Structure 1
């Protein structure tokens, strides 16, 4: 199971870790923390030293209460970050967290390797064409509605069955456009209640039926801290536990705020399973 990142074949048969860098003022966990060049460089160096395989950059918070950010604002936030990181760490494989085709296009043209789309093309009809044109790996997440409406769209008859159908349709469409490298993200916390998040995690191995790598993004999310009645800042232990469960269910990429702990999870998981 490989993906092609800028001519480099990445073997996902061994799980990988994707470190998160939010260049937003309002992310639920680290908003505003990385707003100048020295902070960004320091955090990237830390994550790469700790073993991150990819860095995922987001410039538009997807939490339900997040303020609107224009396409131009998003580009103006994200392109300087890409340029800065690749200047200091040129071998870094950058993933861009965006649902906008123009942001994706500009990011790829400036050196990004992967596009991570929370809407799987639903919020911008041009996204698939951009991915097909540049033929970069594409992470497709399950969500209903948009970040502002998603928590009102949690009615399912059979959530996992409906998600499998959703992904099957997306895979068929993207394959018809010649998109080769696809990654599925169940979208924990997006248009799902806490109980539904845990049901999806419990049954996550079913997504392996689609024969594509699965990304798990549970890091410090409300499914952890609300269940434990703690804050996001206190949710590292819970994150580590759920990351371990995700690996046992077949996750090939862990998207995390805390790289060191996730890398340790992967190493211990591999010790048992390889």
Structure 2
């Protein structure tokens, strides 16, 4: 679905400055198979109710997705993805929420913007669909460009970043995406970058990238989204008997949110809002008074 008229750029990128803190993006998975909460909100009614709950808990943005991108996840058709996410996006946007669509497909992204989404969150950075960047340029909305190597079936085998290491490698590859976005007319002020923790990264590499949040923000010149919530690399921070349970990683997630906020992240993407809301506010107060 092409977008014929650019929508006005939302204030999402300025919102962090206005709030005086890192923003909290709450996850709304309308899927049966997401790694930590698949099937809990896989109907329109359940997903919309969950979105309202996250807003009441303090989420600044709702990220609605209809396809799992966990390692080994099965793909879904564009038709099925749209069936899952579009009614949820429309209902939440009509209620006044700032909604992001989590998708790899330009067609789904365009339909989501038409339904009220103000942000396109593309974990492939445009590599999964060559039309995505042009759709972003036409829509004029905020675009989260994540670092990506390979699809869920192959990404765990693509973790070699050479002698320069993962941080330099991710920087270089994200610069390529930024150049491609510029070439099709996407404005720099539309773009947020995401280092893609857990996507074609070993656990150690994900920790290295999290520790490089401030460097990435400075070197790439764009706001940074950190998506660490419940990911496998956080198991290193849990007791061994809980390491296999994604929900047992919530405390570690909260710690990463505080660290990312202290390093100047624009937003953190999380499954559970209350503790992470408090974490970013704590980091803001700490920065204010140090």
Relative to the length of structure 2, the TM-score reads: 0.88
Match among 44, 50, 59 for residue 52 of structure 1: 59
Query: Match for residue 187 of structure 1?
Result: 196
Question: Post-superposition shift, 1:39?
Answer: 2.1
Asked if 1 retains the 8 angstrom alpha-carbon contact of 2:26 and 2:270, the reply is: yes
Query: Match for residue 98 of structure 2?
Result: 93
Q: Distance in 2 between matches of 1:211 and 1:48?
A: 29
Q: Distance in 2 between matches of 1:110 and 1:39?
A: 18
Query: Match for residue 271 of structure 1?
Result: 285
Asked if 1 retains the 8 angstrom alpha-carbon contact of 2:262 and 2:287, the reply is: no
Query: Match for residue 241 of structure 1?
Result: 255
Asked if 1 retains the 8 angstrom alpha-carbon contact of 2:261 and 2:284, the reply is: no
Asked if 1 retains the 8 angstrom alpha-carbon contact of 2:146 and 2:193, the reply is: yes
1:94-243 pair list within 5 angstroms: 94-157=99-162, 158-180=165-187, 181-208=190-217, 209-225=219-235, 228=238, 229=240, 230=242, 231-243=245-257
Q: Match of 2:215, SS?
A: helix
Q: Match of 2:251, SS?
A: helix
Kindly report the root-mean-square deviation, in angstroms, between the aligned alpha carbons of the 2 structures.
1.6
Query: Match for residue 5 of structure 2?
Result: none
Relative to the length of structure 1, the TM-score reads: 0.93
Q: Distance in 1 between matches of 2:268 and 2:12?
A: 20
Label 1:244 to 1:175 Cα distance change in 2 as closer, same or farther (>3 A): same
Q: Distance in 2 between matches of 1:58 and 1:41?
A: 12
Number of corresponding residues: 269
Label 1:268 to 1:8 Cα distance change in 2 as closer, same or farther (>3 A): closer
Q: Match of 1:64, SS?
A: coil
Q: Match of 1:48, SS?
A: helix
Q: Match of 1:11, SS?
A: helix
Question: Post-superposition shift, 1:85?
Answer: 2.1
Asked if 1 retains the 8 angstrom alpha-carbon contact of 2:86 and 2:111, the reply is: yes
Question: Post-superposition shift, 1:20?
Answer: 0.2
Question: Post-superposition shift, 1:226?
Answer: 5.4
Question: Post-superposition shift, 1:244?
Answer: 1.4
Residues 3-33 of structure 1 deviation map (CA, whole Å, 9 limit, x = unaligned): x754677333331110000000000011010
Question: Post-superposition shift, 1:162?
Answer: 1.1
Asked if 2 retains the 8 angstrom alpha-carbon contact of 1:37 and 1:84, the reply is: no
Range that drifts further, 256-265 or 175-184: 175-184
